Amino acid sequence: MNAVLREMEATTAPLSVSGLVHCYEGSNVLTGVDLTLEPGSVLGLIGRNGAGKSTLLRIMLGLLQPLAGEALVFGKPALKLDDAAKARIAYVPQQPEALAWLTAQQMLDFVGRFYPRWDAAFARRMLERWQIAPNKLLAKLSPGERQRVDLIRALASQPELLVLDEPAAALDPVARRELLREVALRAGESGTTVLFSTHIVSDLERVASEIAFLHQGKLLMRCSVDETKEHYARLWLPARMSAAAPAPALSRRRHDDGSLSLVVERDAHGQWPEAAKLPGARVDALGLEDLFVEIAE
């Protein structure tokens, strides 16, 4: 029976949400979001500041109750997780503030008691590598140092599910690259499922296997990082042909000369929209950063 349960857990989606709706002060933040993470995947959630990324992560983990929709963690309602389920999860908020009256080492020692797989040696090694004084109060650390300590806390718990909200926002480029390397290493060696939000496109390209684009409360697209250049493109249409523009497009921009540019995707047969075949039309490849800018602006 235990073997059957372990097999079921291994195939259950670590995170799954459907029909999520939420708003603040009458303004929609999430509008019908559906998203599922497969076990062992590394998904980068990208979007501009204020797009709803933090709200989505908090709802997915049961830290915030949505106005509508359902969030499941390891197949169980996110709002009703037991201690055993919570011990399998590590979450790093964008601005860590908890337990600020403790030193870095005291906080790690205290938190480690709640995780059966806690790696104390890893925690000590990372404090030394990142040159963080273990006897310094968390409240006295810089924002970047504080974020590093919280990342150490998350990684030392050896979670099955790791959720990071803008994990590199306060880090310098060297520290950010080292963090992403550590996340990729943990995901590759332990099969950890990772979800991290960011607006730094280069971070996605370094570690994510998939991306999901959240814009104005809606999930506009989801695909593998490698597929973006092949699957999405910018379609330019001269002014005289703008009426032939395909209706479904991820973005649509009218220029001063009357021409039109759209972000389009290939259909199920791998073909661009018919308008791409018109004389004078042009299809330009888009890198991940270009795609982000085109849709977000």
**Shared-domain flag, residues 133 and 277:** no
**C-alpha–C-alpha distance, residues 103 and 108, integer Å:** 9
Model pLDDT, residue 125? 93
**Shared-domain flag, residues 172 and 115:** yes
**Shared-domain flag, residues 87 and 18:** yes
Q: With contact defined as beta carbons under 8 Å apart, do 284 and 234 qualify? A: yes
**Shared-domain flag, residues 115 and 261:** no
Structural tokens at position 156: 């030392």
Residue type, 223: C
**Shared-domain flag, residues 193 and 246:** no
**Shared-domain flag, residues 191 and 98:** yes
Q: With contact defined as beta carbons under 8 Å apart, do 54 and 197 qualify? A: yes
- Phi, psi angles (nearest 5°) of residue 198: -165, 160
**Shared-domain flag, residues 142 and 246:** no
User: What is the value of pTM for the model shown?
Assistant: 0.86
Q: With contact defined as beta carbons under 8 Å apart, do 162 and 180 qualify? A: no
Q: What length does the chain have?
A: 297
**Shared-domain flag, residues 239 and 211:** no
Asked if residue 221 is part of any domain, the answer here is: no
Asked if residue 255 is part of any domain, the answer here is: yes
Asked if residue 126 is part of any domain, the answer here is: yes
Give the residue numbers spanning the domain of 236. Answer: 230-296
**Shared-domain flag, residues 118 and 57:** yes
Asked if residue 248 is part of any domain, the answer here is: yes
Number of folded domains in the chain?
2
**Shared-domain flag, residues 201 and 249:** no
Model pLDDT, residue 11? 61
**Shared-domain flag, residues 172 and 287:** no
**Shared-domain flag, residues 239 and 174:** no
* Coil, helix or strand at residue 34: strand
| 296: Cα separation from own chain's centroid | 16
Q: With contact defined as beta carbons under 8 Å apart, do 261 and 253 qualify? A: yes
Q: Where are the alpha helices (DSSP H) in 35-157?
A: 53-60, 83-86, 104-112, 120-129, 143-156
The stretches in the chain having pLDDT less than 70 are 1-11
**Among positive and negative, which fits the CA dihedral 40, 115, 54, 176?**
negative
Asked if residue 224 is part of any domain, the answer here is: no
